[in-house]
């Protein structure tokens, strides 16, 4: 079977679990060498180990994308070994308990701004010179349906996820001339370890708001990420791609 990203070098952030883990696993299955990064270094190590156990190629590194020095270390780790970065998937985000405007704390705002928004900017800035040098690259950013439709009690998270859409469009415009594609994946309600379970009113509300009547699975996001990383998506850039069971179409 054809491997769509065979021999390409990829970095995936927030890859110790959930969507990021699924993206890292699928890229490896499709032939990429993957640097699995996460603030949870032990979790990242286990994902990379599982990739190798399945005859894939991967390494891991503890990275807090809110800290530019750790970003630089991650990019150096890859480029010192391979001299290039072909695929960058920025999935990491600041996850906490969010609030509405009057209750949102400076701490949650700073976390969302420094990690989710500026972390994406700083990591993208670090990989771009290598992609420009080789005149090719695919950058995939994980957004959220929360950046496109109204959600309660989530002003900081919803704001930065909406901001990522603008970031992706701007970067796609600026670097298309270098054959670098930049796209946004916009997941809806995806079943990860912190998702509400069946019987929880929030779970029922999520299901009600999708045409397909269910939560999605991380693999469904990962499959779309692999497509965007591959040459099958060679004419797609600046796109906001919802993988949300129809939620954002309501």
Q: Catalytic residue positions?
A: 157
Burial of 133 (0-12, 13-18, 19+ CB in 10 A): middle
> Cα(36)–Cα(176) distance, rounded to whole angstroms?
26
> Cα(117)–Cα(79) distance, rounded to whole angstroms?
24
Lookup: tokens for 230: 């591959």
Residue reference for tokens 């979790």: 43
Which of 160-195 are b and which e, b meaning 16 or more Cβ less than 10 Å from the residue's Cβ? Answer: bbebbbebbbebbeebeeeebbbbbbbbbbbbbeee
SS3 track for 147-181: HCCCCCCCHHHHHHHHHHHHHHHHHHHHHHHHCEE
> Cα(229)–Cα(138) distance, rounded to whole angstroms?
5
């Amino acid at each position: 079977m054809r491997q769509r990203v065979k021999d390409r070098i990829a970095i995936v952030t927030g890859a110790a679990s959930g969507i990021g883990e699924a993206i890292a696993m699928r890229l490896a299955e499709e032939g990429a060498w993957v640097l699995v990064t996460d603030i949870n270094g032990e979790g990242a190590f286990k994902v990379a180990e599982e990739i190798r156990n399945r005859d894939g190629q991967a390494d891991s590194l503890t990275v807090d994308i809110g800290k530019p020095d750790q970003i630089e270390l991650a990019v150096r780790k890859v480029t010192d070994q391979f001299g290039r970065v072909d695929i960058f998937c920025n999935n990491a985000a600041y996850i906490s308990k969010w609030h509405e405007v009057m209750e949102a704390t400076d701490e949650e705002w700073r976390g969302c701004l420094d990690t989710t928004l500026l972390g994406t900017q700083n990591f993208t800035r670090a990989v771009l010179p290598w992609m420009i040098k080789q005149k090719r690259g695919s950058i995939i950013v994980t957004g959220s349906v929360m950046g496109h439709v109204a959600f309660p009690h989530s002003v900081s998270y919803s704001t930065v996820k909406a901001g990522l859409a603008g970031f992706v469009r701007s970067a796609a415009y600026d670097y298309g001339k270098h054959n670098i594609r930049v796209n946004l994946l916009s997941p809806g309600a995806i079943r990860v370890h912190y998702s509400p379970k069946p019987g929880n009113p929030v779970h029922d509300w999520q299901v009600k708001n999708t045409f397909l009547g269910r939560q999605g699975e991380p693999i469904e996001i990962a499959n779309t990420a692999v497509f965007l990383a591959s040459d099958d998506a060679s004419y797609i850039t600046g796109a906001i791609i919802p993988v949300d069971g129809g939620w954002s179409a309501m």
